[in-house]
A and B are shown apart, each in its own frame.
Chain A
Amino acid sequence: QSALTQPASVSGSPGQSITISCTGTSSDVGSYNLVSWYQQHPGKAPKLMIYEGSKRPSGVSNRFSGSKSGNTASLTISGLQAEDEADYYCCSYAGSSTNWVFGGGTKLTVL
Chain B
Amino acid sequence: EVQLVESGGGLVQPGGSLRLSCAASGFTFSSYEMNWVRQAPGKGLEWVSYISSSGSTIYYADSVKGRFTISRDNAKNSLYLQMNSLRAEDTAVYYCARDGGYDYEDAFDIWGQGTMVTVSS
> How many cross-chain pairs have Cβ atoms below 8 Å apart between A and B?
69
Judged by DSSP, the binding face of B is strand
Binding stretch for chain B, among A9-17, A69-77, A78-86, A91-99: A91-99
Q: Is the CB of B104 within 8 A of A48?
A: yes
Chain B contacts for A47, CB-based, 8 A: 111
- Report the contact-size class of chain B (Cβ under 8 Å from the partner): 20 to 34
Q: Is the CB of A105 within 8 A of B107?
A: no
Chain B contacts for A103, CB-based, 8 A: 44
- Report the contact-size class of chain A (Cβ under 8 Å from the partner): 20 to 34
Asked whether A45 and B113 contact (CB < 8 A) given A102-B44, A102-B47, the answer is yes
Chain B contacts for A93, CB-based, 8 A: 106
Q: Is the CB of B95 within 8 A of A46?
A: yes
Chain B contacts for A99, CB-based, 8 A: 47, 50, 59, 61
Task: Let me know if A18 is at the binding interface, CB within 8 A.
Answer: no
Q: Is the CB of B95 within 8 A of A34?
A: no
